[in-house]
Amino acid sequence: MNPFASFYAAGVPVCFGSDSPVTPLRPWASVRACLQHNNPAEQISARAAFLGHTRAGWRAARYRNPMAGQLVPGAPASFAVWEVEELMVQVADGRVQSWSTDPRARTPLLPALDTGSEPVCLQTVRDGLELYSSGSLRS
């Protein structure tokens, strides 16, 4: 139903969001769904899906700062802190490694989405203002 890989291959900008209240607010489940698309030809990497949830959304909204959605100098301090069990590089097709797993490549690791547990959001911040905190960061 959602030809993610075809869109990317054609150069179509792709961004993800939530269908709430139709589906729960679970962004990591959405990233996992991109990795495990029912049509293997339309699967995309966790990294591509993550970027679709972060940087691409800000660009689709034509936000004034082109650095939004990234943790880089000059970008607005907007981020989420997640508690995860394990980090890894995940690709849509295990036969093809599209991101280097060598630590020197500095490829950002993402939560392992095949552990059976979802990452837990501990904090969200937008433009430097804390919007949510679970409280466990303060203990």
Tokens representing 106?
């500095």
Q: Tell me if 116 sits within 8 A of 71, measured CB to CB.
A: no
In whole angstroms, give the CA distance from residue 92 to residue 75: 29
- Of 57, 48, 50, 55, residue with least CA distance to 15: 57
pLDDT of residue 6: 95
Domain extent listing, the chain: 4-133
Per-residue pLDDT tens for 58-110? 889 898 888 888 888 888 888 999 999 998 877 666 555 555 666 666 667 88
Task: Output the pTM of the full model.
Answer: 0.81
Strand partners, 82: 121
